[in-house]
Amino acid sequence: MPLFCFVLGFGGSCFQKDVLNLVYLSEALNLPEVAAYWYQVIAMNEYQRRRFTNRIVNCLFNTVTDKKIALFGFAFKKNTGDTRYE
C-alpha cells in the first residue's frame, strides 16, 4: 500500500469559488438540477475534509489537547512550472 493513498478532495479557495460560480450561473439560468449537482460537489468535498479530521482526532484518543499536529502539502499543475507548498 502506498504511503499516501488518500485524497481529501480539492483544495484551495479558487476551485471552490469557481464551482460555486457554476452553482450561481446554473440557478440564474433556471437549471436547478445542474445547480444541485455542482453544490453536491462542494458538499462532498466538505464531507471528505470533516471525515479526515475526525479520523485524525479519533487516532489521537479523541482529543488534540496538548498535541502538536503537522500537515504538509504539495500541489502542482501538470505541464507547468507551477508548484506550491503549504
Q: Do the beta carbons of residue 27 and residue 38 sit within 8 Å? A: no
> Contact 76/82 with Cβ under 8 angstroms?
yes
- Nearest-Å Rg of the Cα atoms of the chain is 17
pLDDT greater at residue 79 or residue 2: 79
Identify the residue with better confidence: 1 or 52.
52
pLDDT reported for residue 49: 85
First to last CA, the chain: 25
pLDDT digits (tens, 9 = 90+) for 5-29: 455 667 666 788 899 999 999 999 9
Domain residue spans of the chain: 13-85
pLDDT reported for residue 79: 83
% pLDDT > 70, the chain: 78
